A and B are shown apart, each in its own frame.
Chain A
Amino acid sequence: MPIILRRLLAFMTRHIDGVLLSAILLLMFTGLVALLSASNGNYVRVSSQLMNMMVALAVMWVFANIPPHYLMRLAVPLFITGCTLLVGVAVAGEVVNGARRWLDIGITRIQPSELMKIAMPLMLAWYFNRNEASLKLRNYAIAALMLAFPAALILRQPDLGTALLITASGGYLIFLAGLSWRVIIALGGLAAASLPFLWSAMHDYQRQRVLTLLDPTQDPLGSGYHTIQSTIAVGSGGILGKGWMNGTQTHLDFIPERTTDFIFAVYAEEFGLLGNAVLLALYLFLIGRAMVITANAPTLFARLLAGSITLTFFTYAFVNLGMVSGILPVVGVPLPLISYGGTSLVSICLGFGILMSINTHKKLVQT
Chain B
Amino acid sequence: MSDLSINPGIEIRDSERELQRFRGRLALLGVFVLVLFGLLFTRFAYLQVVRHSHYSTLAEANRISVLPIAPHRGVIFDRNGVLLAHNYSAYTLEIIPSKTDNLETTIDELATIVEITPRDRRRFRKLLEESKRFESLPIRTRLSDEEIARFAVNRYRFPGVEAKARLFRQYPQGEIFSHVVGHIGRINQREIEQLEKSGRLANYRGSDYIGKIGLEQSYEAALHGTTGVEEVEVDSGGRAVRVLSRTPPVSGNNLVLHLDARLQEIAYNAFGDRRGALVAIDPRTGGVLALVSKPGFDPNLFVDGIDPQSWAELNGSPDKPLLNRAASGTYPPGSTFKPFMALAALFYGKRPPQQVISDPGYFMFGGHRFRDGRPVPLGAVDMHRSIVVSSDVYYYSLANELGIDPIARFMALFGFGSRTGIDIAGESAGVLPSTEWKYRRFKQKWYAGETISVGIGQGYNSYTPLQLASATATLANDGLMFRPHIVDYVEDIRTREKTPVAPKPLRDLELKPEHLKIVKDAMVGVNKEGTSARVFADAPYVAAGKTGTAQVIAIKQGEKYVESRVAERHRDHAWFIVYAPAENPTIALAVIAENSGFGARAAAPIARQVLDYHMLGKLPKQPAEAD
- A–B pairs, 9, beta carbons within 8 Å: A133-B11, A232-B65, A235-B58, A236-B59, A248-B59, A311-B29, A314-B36, A321-B40, A322-B43
Convert A230-259 into 0s and 1s, putting 1 for each residue whose CB lies closer than 8 angstroms to a CB of B.
011111111100000000110111100000
A252: chain B residues at CB < 8 Å are 62, 134
Complex Cα distance, B231 from A276, in Å, reads 30
Q: Is A272 an interface residue (CB 8 A)?
A: yes
Contact A239 B48, CB 8 Å, known A221-B229, A253-B134, A277-B41: yes
Which residues on B sit within 8 Å (CB–CB) of A167? none
A222 within 8 A of B: yes
Within 8 A of B (CB), among A273-290: 273, 276-277, 280, 283-284, 287-288
**New A-B pairs, 20, CB < 8 Å, besides A178-B21, A238-B56, A322-B40:** A172-B29, A176-B22, A176-B29, A221-B205, A222-B202, A232-B65, A234-B44, A235-B47, A235-B51, A236-B56, A238-B48, A248-B60, A252-B62, A253-B134, A277-B41, A291-B26, A303-B22, A314-B33, A314-B36, A325-B43
- CB atoms of A235 and B23 under 8 A apart: no
A62 within 8 A of B: no
Also in contact, A307 and B26, with CB within 8 A (given A236-B59, A238-B56)? yes
Across the interface, name the chain A residue whose C-beta is closest to B135. A253
B275 to chain A, nearest CB (A): 45
Query: Residue A248 contacts which of B15, B37, B40, B62 (CB distance < 8 angstroms)?
Result: B62
Q: Which of B15, B47, B132 sits near A234, CB closer than 8 Å?
A: B47
Are B41 and A233 in touch, CB under 8 angstroms? no
CA distance A321 to B38 in the complex (A): 12
Give Cα distance in the complex from A217 to B49, angstroms: 22
Q: Which of A235, A268, A284 has the most CB of B within 10 A?
A: A235
Cβ of B54 within 8 Å of any chain A Cβ, yes or no, is yes
Q: Are A176 and B26 in contact (CB under 8 A)?
A: yes
Please give, as numbers and ranges, the residues of chain B lying within 8 Å of A251 by CB-CB distance.
134
Which residues of B199-255 have CB atoms within 8 Å of chain A's CB atoms?
Answer: 202-203, 205, 227, 229, 231
B66 within 8 A of A: yes
In the complex, are the beta carbons of A221 and B44 less than 8 A apart? no
Q: Is B192 an interface residue (CB 8 A)?
A: no
Residues from chain B with Cβ under 8 Å of A231 in the complex: 47, 55
A297-339 interface bits toward B, Cβ cutoff 8 Å, 1 = contact, 0 = none: 0001001000100010010001001100111000000000000
* A295 interface contact, C-beta 8 A: yes
- Inter-chain contacts of A237 with B (CB < 8 A): 48
Nearest Cβ distance between residue B49 and chain A, in whole angstroms?
A: 6
CB contact between B58 and one of A232, A314, A318, A326 (< 8 Å): that residue: A232
The answer to whether A220 and B66 touch (CB under 8 A), given A178-B21, A236-B55, A307-B29, is: yes
Residues of B within 8 A of A (CB): 11, 15, 18, 21-23, 25-26, 29-30, 33-34, 36-37, 39-41, 43-45, 47-49, 51-52, 54-56, 58-60, 62, 64-66, 68, 132, 134, 197, 202-203, 205, 227, 229, 231
How many residues from A make CB contacts under 8 Å with B?
54
A contact set with B: CB distance below 8 Å: 97, 132-133, 172, 175-176, 178, 217, 220-222, 225, 228-229, 231-239, 248-249, 251-254, 268-269, 272-273, 276-277, 280, 283-284, 287-288, 291, 294-295, 300, 303, 307, 311, 314, 318, 321-322, 325-327
In the complex, what distance in Å separates the CA atom of A222 from the CA atom of B203? Answer: 9
Q: For residue A132, which residues in chain B have a CB less than 8 angstroms away from its CB?
A: 15
- Given A176-B25, A276-B44, A291-B26, are A235 and B18 neighbors across the interface (CB < 8 Å)? no
- List B contacts of A314 (CB < 8 A): 33, 36
Determine chain B's interface SS by DSSP, over half rule: helix
- Enumerate chain B residues within 8 angstroms of A276, measured Cβ to Cβ: 41, 44, 48
Given known pairs A231-B55, A248-B59, the reply for A239 and B49 (CB within 8 Å) is: yes
B56 touches A228 (CB 8 A): no
- Indicate whether A175 sits within 8 Å of B25 (C-beta atoms), given known contacts A248-B59, A322-B40: yes
B22 contact set on A, CB distance < 8 A: 176, 178, 295, 303, 307
Asked, given contacts A176-B25, A220-B229, A253-B134, whether A236 binds B60 with beta carbons under 8 Å apart, the answer is yes
Beta-carbon contact of B48 and A300 below 8 Å:
no
Q: Closest B residue to A205 by CB, please name it.
A: B199
Q: How far is the CA of A289 from the CA of B590 in the complex (A)?
A: 82
Query: How far apart are the CA atoms of A120 and B546 in the complex, in Å?
Result: 76
Please name all residues of chain A whose beta carbon is closer than 8 Å to the beta carbon of B39 when the two chains form the complex: 327
CB pair B26 A294 closer than 8 Å: yes
A residues less than 8 Å from B33 (CB atoms) = 284, 287, 311, 314
For A311, the chain B residues whose CB sits under 8 A away are 29, 33
Partner of B59, one of A232, A283, A307, A322: A232
Picked from B30, B48, B49, the residue with its CB within 8 Å of the CB of A268 is B48
Q: Which residues on the B side are within 8 Å of A234 (C-beta)?
A: 44, 47-48, 55
Residue numbers in A under 8 Å from B134 (CB-CB) = 251-253
With contacts A176-B25, A232-B59 taken as known, whether A220 is within 8 angstroms of B30 at the C-beta atoms is no
Chain A contacts of B62 at CB under 8 A? 248, 252
Q: Which residues of B contact A283 (CB under 8 A)?
A: 37
Interfacial chain B residues near A303, Cβ < 8 Å:
22
Contact B18 A300 (CB under 8 A): yes
Residue of B nearest to A307 (CB): B26
Q: Which of A232, A238, A287, A327 contacts B43 (CB 8 A)?
A: A327
Report the bound CA distance from A251 to B65 in whole Å.
Answer: 17
Indicate if the CB atoms of B64 and A254 lie closer than 8 Å.
yes
* A270 vs chain B, min Cβ distance (A): 12
- Closest Cβ–Cβ distance, residue B310 to chain A (whole Å): 30
